[in-house]
Structure 1
Amino acid sequence: MTSTESSVGQMVNTVAVDAVAKSFATASTPTTSTPTTRTEADLLGSARVPTEAYWGIHTQRAVENFTLGADRLEAFPSLVSALAVVKQACARANGDYGLLTPEVRGAIEWACEQLRSGQYLDQFPVEMIQGGAGTSTNMNANEVIANLALERLGCEKGSYAVIHPNEQVNKSQSTNDVYPTALKIAMITSTDDLLAALERLTKSFDGKAAEFADIVKIGRTQLQDAVPMTLGQEFETYGVTLRRDRDRLLEAAGHLHEVNLGATAIGTGIAAPAGFAVSAGNHLRELTGRPMRTSEHLIESTQDVGTFTLFSATLKRLAVKLSKICNDLRLLSSGPRSGLGEINLPARQAGSSIMPGKVNPVIPELVNQIAFEVIGADLTVTLAAEGGQLQLNAFEPIIGYSIFRSMEHLKQGMDLLAAFCVDGITANAETLAGHVNGSISIVTALVPQIGYVAATRIAREAQETGASVKTLVLDLALMTPDEFDDLILMRPCSRL
């Protein structure tokens, strides 16, 4: 590196640190003259860290290296909490082996509890998309926990001779077992919120199914008239298909409970005492209240990300189902006068800057786009999983980021779809009845009564003359009006 390049690098580093430090300094008393940064060292040398920051040099370098503008760790409280519970479980296990003094262990556990309660999220400025297989995330947690613990003991931040991010907080651990374990725990807890949103949407469809139970309409296959059904059956089906996805999500989340904590670098447990994986796993199960279990083959589970690909694929399945449902809602409400116009979606906003009175199905369109995003994110996860090499997959950061964003957007999308769309849907009963009366396909329901040949003749004549099927059937005295109505107004899909 030339002297010019070195000077430029130092200038960039100084500007970056000062910018962050300034945000902390503004909160201090103007009359107090205190340094805005402290100096920490690592294998690359030294660097300046904001004095008030609980993070340290490793986090600072990550902040400077990863500047895509992607979401930071602080945007994912579930992940920060999961990192803290992993560190707390390991602190207890290390205490069991006498590797931490009771005082240090207690301070680390206290710090972890602060993070688990949702405090200090602003101390996690590292972007989710990062190189290093999650090392920056792990070190961000190590440094914040260490400095919180130091303050708990009455020491200044950076007093690492007392509690060191690597020596004590990260003892018997590696990023390669901490990070995937934390990802899985965070996904498990986030699944609770996702399932709650899914249940709310399902109940919305159930409510509409009951409301529309007696409204007969024409079903359609390949966008062509098919046979009669009720609008209630149409909406009931949406609830059924979503419940099946709930079950699939629960199955996929079940696999997330198997973790490789205690594997350390590549699964051999190097630098950890014998039996540490079992001890840490027991503490993790106790702290989370979840049925966490230690993998039976730590080397395999350290390099394999198949659980993430399965979970991502399950999210994609849900997204595809939601998008199909939204396609249906947009089509059924199309027009409103020149389309199907069978249902009305709640009007949420003006739909055009040039066409007065136009209203668009903006909520279903939003959910469609979320589905497109989730489908793309699943491809990202697939490619990242395929890109693993030898004993480690280095691309777990993008895997985690993709899945968390998918989960959050799916949750928000389902909440909006339920509250701003499905709950307010109304039926256009007259339009639906008109479609039924004018449909030729309803002749299918008459086949058991009048036979296929007669039904075909009536269908052809209705097509050629424009007469209704009911009129032709009655004119030929093939059925009475009551017999005809009983067949058409029945619920075909409810019969076994």
Structure 2
Amino acid sequence: MRTERDLLGSYQIDDDAYYGVHSARARENFPLSGRRLHPELVKALAMVKQAAARANRDAGLLPPEKAEAIEKACAEIAAGGFSDQFITDALQGGAGTSANMNANEVIANRAIELLGGKKGDYTLVHPIDDVNRSQSTNDVFPTAVRVAAIRMLKPVSEGFARLQTALQEKEEAFSCVLKIGRTELQDAVPITLGQEFGAWAQAVARDRWRLYKVEERLRQVNLGGTAVGTGLNAPRAYVFAAAEHLRELTGLGLARAEDPIDPTQNCDVFAEVSGLLKAAAVNLAKIAGDLRLLSSGPRAGFGEIHLPAMQAGSSIMPGKVNPVIPEAVTQAAYQIMADDLAVTLAAQAGNLELNAFLPLIAKNLLEMLDLMRQAVFIFTKKCVAGIEPDRARCAALAEQSPSLAAALIDHIGYDAASRIAKDCLHTGKTVRQALLEDGRFTPEEIDRLLDPIAMTSGRG
């Protein structure tokens, strides 16, 4: 064991640990969610620290040998190393100070090793004086959250692109499958199955575009603003170099905020991203619900489409297969909606120059991105791509529906069309049969009146 000290006194740390006293106290103080910092946030923190080390070296604030050791340690963490040493809970007091100190300590102790020293010998590399030089939690942590969110947004947007493509492929494949439309779960006028899929594809396309574009608002970082955005203790040469080095390290189009005070205290951009994820979750849940309805049965429901069978559906009913993928996606969507509320509340809860609840924003936002990426992936691969129509069932239900009488309104008037629909409901006749018995139209005229193309293409 080694002894480390802070302003509260001494603390015993395991000799093998790369974290130090600040991390250990945080672990004791915040046993809340049971979840550690998101791996992407840890990587982003390491990249921020690496950029800062380079900028401090360029500004003459760190000796080259020390800066190089810090950089190497950061690169190892950014590549996924030492993840077990980030021990603080994702939820923590202090606006992310514990997460920042956890990073400082792990980086410092690894740099000490690289310089040939023993962990805990902070005369070689100090977690605050060296690793955290020219920085504050209040510019490091928000910047890292932005970097992590941008890196995670891209695969989410790409996932929606693939889902959009899958839906559009079904739109084309099912373009001639006539079925009955439904409003308020009651028979409505005819529609094609392809048109239903096309409408879903349009909704997903909007989600894809919105999530792609929102990245632009995340690119403005407050690195160099230090405690409140004014840049206290951050030399001008460091401030501009840090943002440039971070842009190079991440490969992202990051830029120093015009007014670093703004992103230090205001978290509306995170609420915006969260809100767009919520909107996308709304569409996913709606589409998943529609697929469950259309596939319900197989005998006593709509039964108009067949979803891929993924697993046995019951421990007591042989042969039962449930729509488990839409159900799972719906649950993911609901969780994302719930997470958005937490992000919203945390974003508005900041006071004056800082938002103390950024750890909650980071936890929920990054988990939302993870969940959305996975939900869209399985929805596309294990559900949408394998959907097949029951053409005969679609045609039969459409032919039997009294709602086809709506196509007659322009020819015989609403009241007469209503009488035909009522007659069909009471007798079980189809609209076609009722018209033949009515005698006012020839079979050829009835064919034209009930032409599926005319009824679904806007050319009726």
TM superposition score category, shorter chain reference: over 0.9
Aligned 8 A contact 1:174 1:264 in 2: yes
Once the two structures are superposed, the pairs formed by residues 203-352 of structure 1 within 5 Å of their partners are: 203-274=165-236, 276-352=238-314
**Secondary structure class of the residue paired with 2:236:** coil
> Residue 15 of structure 2 corresponds to which residue in structure 1?
51
Summarize the Cα distance change of 1:487–1:257 in structure 2 as closer, same or farther, 3 Å threshold: farther
Q: Give the equivalent residue in structure 1 for 2:400.
A: 438
Q: Give the Cα separation in 2 of the matches to 1:293 and 1:214.
A: 50
Check the 8 A contact 1:228/1:488 in 2, yes or no: no
* Paired position in structure 2 for 1:6: none
CA 1:491–1:252: 2 relative to 1, 3 Å: farther
SS of 2:49's equivalent in the other structure is helix
Alignment partner, residue 490 of structure 1: 453
Q: Which residue in 2 is equivalent to 1:70?
A: 34
How many angstroms does 1:189 deviate by?
Answer: 0.3
User: Aligned pair in 2 of structure 1 residues 299, 429: CA closer, same or farther (>3 Å)?
Assistant: same
Q: Which amino acid aligns with 1:403?
A: L
Q: Secondary structure at the match of 2:118?
A: coil
| Mapped contact 1:350–1:358 kept (Cα < 8 A) | yes
2:356 alignment partner in structure 1: 394
Q: Once the 2 structures are TM-superposed, how far is the Cα of residue 474 of structure 1 from its aligned partner?
A: 3.6
CA distances 1:451-485 after superposition (whole Å, capped 9, x unpaired): 55653443343334332111233442525447626
**Are residues 1:60 and 2:24 paired?**
yes
Structure 2: distance between partners of 1:150 and 1:161: 9
User: Residue 450 of structure 1 contacts residue 478 of structure 1 at CA under 8 Å; is this kept in 2?
Assistant: no
Q: Distance in 2 between matches of 1:98 and 1:486?
A: 84
Instruction: Name which of structure 1's ranges 405-414 and 481-490 shifts more when overlaid on structure 2.
Output: 481-490
Residues 493, 275 of structure 1: alpha-carbon distance in 2 compared, 3 angstrom cutoff? farther
Cα distance in structure 2, aligned partners of 1:211 and 1:455: 33
Contact 2:274 2:343 (8 Å CA) reproduced: yes
Q: CA deviation at 1:222?
A: 1.1
Partner amino acid for 2:210?
R
How far apart, CA to CA, are the structure 1 residues paired with 2:457 and 2:43? 48
* Aligned ranges 1:131-142 → 2 under 5 Å: 131-142=93-104
Q: Which moved more, 1:419-428 or 1:308-317?
A: 419-428
**348 and 485 in structure 1: CA distance in 2 versus 1, 3 angstrom threshold:** farther
Aligned counterparts of 2:220 and 2:362: Cα–Cα separation in 1 = 16
Match of 1:29?
Answer: none
For residue 406 of structure 1, the aligned residue among 368, 377, 388 is 368
Matched position secondary structure for 1:490: helix
Letter in 1 for 2:235: P
- Distance in 2, Cα, partners of 1:486 & 1:250: 45
Q: Say yes or no: does 1:197 pair with 2:162.
A: no
Which TM-score applies when normalising by structure 2?
0.94
Shift in Å, 1:351:
2.3
Identity of aligned residues (%): 49
Cα deviation code 1:242-299 (max 9, x no counterpart):
1110111122222111111111011111111135433221222222221111222222
**Structure 2 counterpart of 1:115:** 77
Give the drift of 1:49.
1.4
Deviations 1:142-194 (A, max 9, x none): 11111121122112212211211100110110000100100010000001121
Give the whole-Å Cα distance in 2 for the aligned partners of 1:388 and 1:80: 23
Contact map agreement 1:200 1:418 (CA 8 A) in 2: yes
- How many residues align structurally? 458
Gaps of 5+ in 1: 1-36
Moved more, 312-321 or 346-355: 346-355
Q: Which residue in the other structure is 1:361 paired with? A: 323
Query: What's the CA shift for 1:348?
Result: 2.2
Alignment partners' CA distance in 1, 2:92 and 2:326: 33
SS of 2:328's partner is helix
Instruction: Describe the superposition over 1:102-130 as per-residue Cα deviations: whole angstroms up to 9, x where unpaired.
Output: 11111111111111222221221211111
Aligned mates of 1:163, 1:182 — CA distance in 2: 22
Residues 429, 493 of structure 1: CA spacing in aligned structure 2 closer, same or farther, 3 A cutoff?
Answer: closer
Q: Which moved more, 1:259-268 or 1:339-348?
A: 339-348
Deviates more, 1:272-281 or 1:186-195: 272-281
Structure 2: gaps spanning 5 or more residues: none
* Post-superposition offset of 1:440: 1.5
SS of equivalent to 1:160: coil
Residue identity matched to 2:19: W
User: What's the CA shift for 1:446?
Assistant: 4.0
